[in-house]
A and B are shown apart, each in its own frame.
Chain A
Amino acid sequence: MAFQPPRIVITGIGLTAPNGNSLAEYRQNLLNGVSGVQKMDVRYMGECLAGICDFDALKYQKRKEVRVGTRAGSISIYCAREAVTDSGVDWDNVTKDRVGVYVGTTEHGNVETENEIYAISKFDYDTKFWSHYHNPRTVANNPAGEVSLNLGITGPAYAIGAACAAGNLGLIHATQMLRLGEVDFAICGGVSESIHTFGIFAGFKSQGALATHEDPTKASRPFDQDRNGIVVSEGGALYTLERLEDAQKRGAKIYGEIAGYRVNSDASDYVLPNPTRQAECVRQALTAAGIAPVDIHIVNTHATATPQGDIQECGALREVFGEGCPDTHINNTKSFIGHSMGAAGALELAGNLPSFDDLTVHPSINCDNLDPQCDLPGLVLNKPRKVEKVDAILNNSFGMLGINSTLIVKRFAA
């Protein structure tokens, strides 16, 4: 008999999104059409549009820890603590060296480096004014390391660098580590502090991919004919994952089960997506999950509202799901919260998990004139849709340098 890897389940969720600091608040806003995008003054650039989070960092950190650490660290700590609490695990009695922390990030260190360069610019660029905190703030493992410090976790804690696929990668990597028996309890997902670096705004602007709109809440408009680019956002979503056996032993509530996943690479361009590889990624994830396209009830798209990227993902999805999947509903969460980069995959999955219970698919908002090239069957636009059943959710997240990820979560059934 073939090796059956342990089943992995989601038992806790902690998040901060531009439109909510808990799963309940976030979900409510996704169903009510509430955007989290607003105007923000960005250094050197002036007014830009961004998804800004307003969680209380001091809920779990001292003021000094906030000062010494990073925004990504604070987001991670908030999400990790909320997830652990939500999981209901008896944290004091968890063996801390058997806990793994796997935090997906698009990038890390740009914010802190830009801040230091700005600071020394006030001193004629004399490097003796450069902070001794620069290195601990900018190491790639910083967000995960801050979680380990805050929660006293002595198991493996590191970041997964995977561009905008990173949120999914956090969950996927945790699944693998739990299956390998490397850890018994995982805190995983993705975070982003990217709105605090002007570089990401300037880079997208130079690329012609930074969204503008007189109404910030309308700026992120995937699939709309008039979409004009990305809204950069911060945020995070971290999950607690456990082997099913362990979760059941302690009577944990179970949000869903990791059914299958796939990560692949375009190997074709630094920036431009590749729909052939995206379709391969989706198909291979379905194969890994043992689920047919017709049995996926929600597809959460990666679409960032760039003119080309949306069309290409829709092409990939059309190839996989075609016309023969009447119960497959397709949505997009970035239309509410913008593109939260390393957090995107994790936050977008979280926004859809409650559908297992409320049988409602949150829509993609801001689509006033649907681009015919994005006109997929099953697209849920502007209003939530009540559906017959939601047994499997497929979550796409793609990133620069051609990294693609698809994660499938299914309704838990013992």
Chain B
Amino acid sequence: MTKEETKQIVLDIIADVAPDEDLTNVKPDVRLRDQLELDSMDFLDIVMELRKRHNIEVPEAEYPELASLDSCADYLTPKFEELGK
């Protein structure tokens, strides 16, 4: 699993969670909430979808790791690798 692949997985989830958002130019180093209309419930949705689709658990204390696409990639890619993906 590459970091780019992880970013795409997160973007695919966001596309379902926030279907009105245009995701074509999401800046990877900018906080997602600063460039998209995402609220705290949406982040819970992202966490839920990571759990449902990929069996990945994100503990509440680590939610800030999901702030941007880059931080998502840094945080989630090792988790995918642990699962042998």
Chain A positions within 8 Å of B, measured between CB atoms, are: 62-64, 67-68, 123, 128-129, 131-133
When distances are taken between beta carbons in the complex, the residues of chain B under 8 Å from A123 are 52
A131 to B52, CA, bound (A): 11
Contact among B19, B20, B44, B48 with A129 in the assembled complex (CB-CB below 8 Å): B48
Tell me whether B11 is interfacial, beta carbon within 8 Å.
Answer: no
**Do residues A128 and B51 form an inter-chain contact, with CB atoms below 8 A?**
yes
Nearest chain B residue, comparing its CB with the CB of A132: B44
Check A131–B48 contact: CB distance below 8 A: yes
Closest Cβ neighbor of B40 among chain A residues: A132
Given contacts A123-B52, A129-B48, contact A68 B41 (CB under 8 A): yes
Q: Most chain-A Cβ atoms within 10 A of its Cβ — which of B18, B20, B44? A: B20
Nearest A residue to B37 by beta-carbon distance? A64
Contact assessment for B52 and A64 in the assembled complex, using a CB-CB cutoff below 8 Å: no
Contact of B19 among A63, A128, A131 (CB under 8 A): A63
Residues of chain B having any CB pair with chain A under 8 Å: 17-20, 37, 41, 44-45, 48, 51-52
| A133 in contact with B41 (CB, 8 Å) | yes
Q: Are A63 and B48 in contact (CB under 8 A)?
A: no
- Cβ-defined partner of A64 (8 Å) among B19, B44, B48, B51: B19
- The docked-state distance in angstroms from the alpha carbon of A131 to that of B45 is 8
Cβ-defined contact, B18 with A129, below 8 A: no
Which of chain A's residues have a CB closer than 8 A to the CB of B20? 62-64
B51-A129 in contact (CB<8A): yes
Q: List 21 A-B contacts (CB under 8 A).
A: A62-B20, A63-B19, A63-B20, A64-B17, A64-B18, A64-B19, A64-B20, A64-B37, A67-B19, A68-B41, A123-B52, A128-B51, A129-B48, A129-B51, A129-B52, A131-B48, A132-B41, A132-B44, A132-B45, A132-B48, A133-B41
Contacts of B19 on A, CB cut-off 8 Å? Answer: 63-64, 67
Give A62 to B17 CA distance when docked, in angstroms: 12
A390 to B: closest C-beta gap in Å: 46
State how many angstroms separate the Cβ of B40 from the closest Cβ of chain A: 10
Smallest CB separation, A118 vs chain B (Å): 13
- What is the CA–CA distance of A129 and B48 in the complex, to the nearest angstrom? 7
Q: A64-B20, A123-B52, A132-B45 are in contact. List 18 more A-B contacts (CB 8 A).
A: A62-B20, A63-B19, A63-B20, A64-B17, A64-B18, A64-B19, A64-B37, A67-B19, A68-B41, A128-B51, A129-B48, A129-B51, A129-B52, A131-B48, A132-B41, A132-B44, A132-B48, A133-B41
How far is the CB of A208 from the nearest CB of chain B, in Å? 40
By a CB distance below 8 angstroms, the chain A residues around B52 are 123, 129
Closest 9 pairs between A and B when the two form their complex, measured CB to CB: A63-B19, A62-B20, A132-B44, A63-B20, A64-B20, A64-B18, A64-B19, A129-B52, A132-B41
Residues of the B chain whose Cβ atoms lie less than 8 Å from the Cβ of A68: 41
- Determine the residue in chain B with the shortest Cβ distance to A123: B52
Expressed in whole angstroms, the Cα–Cα distance for A151 and B48 within the complex equals 30
- Cα A132 to Cα B51 in complex, Å, equals 14
B51 cross-chain contacts in A, Cβ below 8 A: 128-129
